[in-house]
A and B are shown apart, each in its own frame.
Chain A
């Protein structure tokens, strides 16, 4: 299942511009909307699954003579009882200047992670936006919380950057939007909840905003790789207080107890916002704990990711997913990679002789 910029129905026309899918007019590569009809030319994408996806029982649909089976609200075939893939079990997104993959993993019956990506052009150059949310398994309908939050946030981040907001302001607007969208899914006593991390990657800075234990990293070979987020988790607090080493904390039962999240039971929204200026070439990694559980250190994640991610973030994200699956795939896994500095999205880029 692939949904991405090249499959979005836009006909990319060299480096110079695009053809509007609605009215056929020519638009500039930097345009957000078609000048003729107003259609959005580079809409955000998310791990909701391919558009128009309709659930079908993988077993009963093989029998062509049978009527199409009904799929229950819980996602089971009403005829044979088989769990029907939701469309979110494995999703790859490719927006050329950034790419991501989200996967159910090997042990969970559904994917409660979500991601949403967007790109836009600004007077200062291209901007890449990514949001990853990890549904809190102990809350009701965590898979709705994560997807709703990621989609709401990316839309707000994109709007905010397009109108020229400062990335800090945009980050705050994005997380607030995600929070409000998740809050209306439940009530304080029954709150679908999720972690949150967003990155806005511009020409010379990365702005990170987060709550919970989904992470962003700077991975590089020419400079020092480092983690850009600090988990809101009991484990991180124990390490910060000097009570445990990181290895001890991660092995403790509280390792995955998070102390901040988004949802209807959150009274005061307390996101962290940090700005990072890359010293040179590198890759920004945004991920859920389904990946970093197996390799928390920035330097070793860099070894797994570079140099491949510089030129091909899609296959580098796949490689990180495969690493996490091979390590056990205990949790849902979401990986987004943004090579830095950003290059203009160009269809010919990948085909250029290396």
Chain B
């Protein structure tokens, strides 16, 4: 292992009762002030694409399109000299706005000015086929050697002009090629649809209810992207032959279930993508393993968690299981495991509650959103508690007794939905 600037820490209760099989651990990956990895297959530096929805609805109200142009210009201003960048416009098809030949430009004062000039010509007219937009972006990335490939996607509507299958097929081609942060402007877009895009492409999703907020949001997303230094980092999880890896979830800063993203990397090991990393980041992962029970006093390595970039191992942590007949040891629940179990349940309760509300199942909606209120309160997740209070009237916060509000702003409901996965951390 080289001194990569990354650390991997494991927090768990390693003691199991006699016959116990469930091992849970919270793995914290932290990047130091200085992170660096030798570029795995040549190609250095980064590339950025800004994807702008130019469908007809972007003109209602007309400020949406003008704010989208301003936001794109703001993001272009943040692209550092030497970074490859492009702007793509999307309707039911997609075309390169800058450079117009569908290549990547190298950022400089001159190329940034030319790109901003090209963006002023964007007009709203046409449909929405997000798969087309992603497909063009993927081809542009493919023609430019860069280690860090990132896109920002803005839309205001549902993916109406292609089938869900077409979008899914394109998404699976983009997976691993570039990462993508998604923003929905207004309230006519589909949270679930955009969340599928952002989670597959290891990015964030959020609502920008007022177009006036776009420019600041775009600039900050681009600044964040410019800070990334190490691309394509994976968690490699080794487990014993007789064990089952039940789940691998990112749990901070937001819940993202990576279990289904496994790529086999050895006879007993699988890789789970974590995307790109900048300096000074910290993310938590909840790993659940079911091992075969061993006798009291025995010890087992339940999982070895390695952080890898290409062939390089950046850090490593061990998840252990020790069987004991001392109940004081085996019944102790690790506070961080408990906390993140609650945060994952919170996100689930919100999403299920909102879905039930949409379907007109008020009973389920009230029960699930009530549970969410109680969980948000117990865990000190104040941001989520505030968002919940715009959708339900809280009668008793401890027990999670709530009444559904009769009138809820669409933007509030969508904000709660998109931000349901945001978690808070506990101190060790």
Contacts and interface: CB of A to CB of B under 8 A. Distances in A.
Interface of A: 72, 74, 76-83, 106, 109
A81 B301 contact: yes
Given A74-B301, A76-B300, A76-B301, A81 B318 contact: no
B298 A80 contact: no
A41 B392 CA distance: 86
Contacts of A72: 301, 304
Contact of B302 (A74, A77, A81): A81
Interface stretch (B166-174, B238-246, B371-379): B238-246
A109 B268 CA distance: 24
Given A74-B318, A109-B322, A82 B297 contact: no
Contacts of A81: 239-241, 243, 291, 300-302
Contact of B300 (A78, A83, A106): A83
A78 B243 CA distance: 12
A109 B321 CA distance: 11
12 contacts: A74-B318, A81-B239, A81-B240, A81-B241, A81-B243, A81-B291, A81-B302, A82-B294, A106-B297, A109-B299, A109-B320, A109-B322
Chain A at the B interface: SS class: loop
Interface in B296-337: 297-302, 304, 318, 320, 322
Contacts of B291: 81
A65 to B, nearest CB: 15
Contacts of B320: 109
A81 B319 CA distance: 11
> Among B241, B243, B268, which residue has the most Cβ atoms of chain A within 10 A?
B241
Interface of B: 239-243, 268, 291, 294, 297-302, 304, 318, 320, 322
A341 B358 CA distance: 91
Given A74-B318, A109-B322, A82 B298 contact: yes
A81 B300 CA distance: 5
A85 to B, nearest CB: 10
Given A76-B301, A80-B240, A82-B301, 15 more contacts: A74-B301, A74-B318, A76-B300, A77-B240, A78-B268, A79-B268, A80-B242, A81-B239, A81-B241, A81-B291, A81-B300, A81-B301, A82-B298, A83-B298, A109-B322
Contacts of B299: 82-83, 109
Contacts of A74: 301, 318
Contacts of A83: 298-301
Contacts of A77: 240, 301
Contacts of B239: 81
B324 to A, nearest CB: 9
Contacts of A82: 240, 294, 298-301
A41 to B, nearest CB: 40
B305 to A, nearest CB: 13
4 A-B pairs with least C-beta separation: A81-B240, A83-B299, A76-B301, A81-B301
Nearest to A58: B298
A76 B239 CA distance: 11
Contacts of B243: 81
Contacts of B302: 81
A79 B294 CA distance: 15
Nearest to B239: A81
A83 B299 CA distance: 5
A72 B320 CA distance: 14
A72 B304 CA distance: 11
A82 B295 CA distance: 11
B251 to A, nearest CB: 24
Nearest to B322: A109
A207 to B, nearest CB: 39
Given A74-B318, A109-B322, A79 B240 contact: yes
B300 to A, nearest CB: 5
A333 to B, nearest CB: 15
A87 B297 CA distance: 17
A79 B320 CA distance: 15
Contacts of B241: 79-81
A81 B299 CA distance: 9
A319 B190 CA distance: 74
A81 B290 CA distance: 12
